[in-house]
Homo-oligomer: A and B are copies of this chain.
Amino acid sequence: MGYSRYKYEDLKKLCNVAFQRFGFSKVDRETITDVLLLSDLFGIESHGVQRLVRYHKGIKSGMMKVHAEMEIVHETPVSAVIDAHQGMGQVVGKRSMEMAIKKAKNLGMGMVVVRNSNHYGIAGYYARMAAQEGLLGMSMTNSEAIQVPTFGKAAMMGSNPIAIAMPAEPYPFLLDMSTTVVTRGKLEIYNKRAEALPLGWALDSKGADSSDAKDVLYNIQNKLGGGIVPLGGSSEEFGGHKGYGLGVSVELFTAILSGGLTANYTHMNNVGGTCHWFFAVDYGIFGDKKVIEAGMSKYLQELRDSDKAEGQDRIYTHGEKEIEAYNDRLANGILVNENTLEEIRNMCNYLDLSVNDYLKEI
């Protein structure tokens, strides 16, 4: 898979015009573009412009509704429940986190849950929104069922990421992790490269270890059994039941609290049904914010400075790799692989756009 680099501003223009052709309003297309491109800037290719074509398919099929109006089903001063009415995850996601942030600024905490939505991109985007407002931010989402419970063989949970962001210097803390051992995107990369998966990542349709990415992905898509194992592996020996428990917890916070669909019912009959959770905490309710931030900065620095294992020369804190990728991509361009570019080219032809008018390889 070859990669080329393209300017952030050029990709931004292309995304905006594509989402305009899909029918999105100016504010909505800017939101979706911003979420997608932050992922590419962070070096998380699986959730970046690679998704453009999938979103196009979802919109054409009617699974993703361009003109959906999100509805506030319940609201209290500290909480809200939103029905996204099958709108785009990014649009409802950003607005829901804004609600959570506003509530947190008023009363210290705000928790907003969303049902009946679609893929919302990287969970870290929403957690980071809160951190940029000087709050502690969290977000979770369920997704298409890919995660198999311990001792099971059917995918019953999504990749179910948990994101947590907290201001700190010189880098904020930004954890954004699936509760599976690896993401589906990782399997897709192994599949494209026709490489064998390490044993301990995925299960075949009988629930046994599998190294066959193509087979596992096919089975997930067609709900034939198997899938990806929880963080900690497929048995209890290395704590697989813990990853499984986190996966269930994400379903609780997103789908159960919102009255939406758990992963085992999403993505059926052309309904995505994805559910999200957004939480903001104004840590000023616990004391002087500058003192708390300084405490976080100090601890993160101590982690980075702590003794390295033999053969290692660096310990990262979460969000640090993303910041480095961000600076690199802004300066030197975003990496787009040739398959993705070809898909985007085909989509643009369909939309009567010329990719070459927007993108020039750096």
Which A positions have Cβ atoms within 8 angstroms of B? 73-74, 76-79, 81, 107-109, 111, 113, 136, 148-154, 156, 164, 166, 173, 175, 177-178, 180-182, 198, 200-201, 203, 206-208, 225, 231-234, 237-239, 241-243, 245-246, 248-249, 251-252, 255-259, 262, 264, 281, 283, 285-287, 291-292, 295-296, 299-300, 302-303, 306-310, 312, 314-318
Contact = CB atoms under 8 A, between A and B. Distances in A.
Given A109-B78, A231-B242, A307 B249 contact: no
Nearest to A183: B239
A307 B200 contact: no
A258 B299 CA distance: 14
A175 B308 CA distance: 32
A295 B115 CA distance: 14
Pick from A232, A252, A302 the residue with the most CB of B within 10 Å. Answer: A252
Copies in the complex: 2
23 contacts: A78-B78, A78-B108, A111-B281, A113-B286, A136-B257, A148-B309, A149-B303, A149-B315, A150-B316, A151-B316, A152-B306, A153-B307, A156-B303, A173-B248, A175-B249, A178-B242, A206-B309, A206-B310, A208-B310, A232-B232, A257-B286, A258-B286, A259-B287
A308 B257 CA distance: 27
Contacts of A302: 156, 262, 264
Contact of A315 (B150, B164, B285, B292): B150
A239 B113 CA distance: 27
B285 A74 contact: yes
Contacts of A243: 231-232, 239
Nearest to A318: B245
Nearest to A240: B231
Contacts of A181: 232, 238-239
Nearest to A166: B252
Nearest to A297: B256
Nearest to A176: B245
A296 B252 contact: yes
A107 B107 CA distance: 10
B309 A252 contact: no
B239 A182 contact: yes
Nearest to A162: B246
Contacts of A251: 299
Pick from A156, A207, A256, A286 the residue with the most CB of B within 10 Å. Answer: A256
Contacts of A315: 149-152
B242 A78 contact: no
A156 B286 contact: no
A126 to B, nearest CB: 16
A251 B173 CA distance: 12
Contact of A109 (B74, B111, B232): B111
A251 B306 CA distance: 16
A259 B294 CA distance: 10
B252 A164 contact: yes
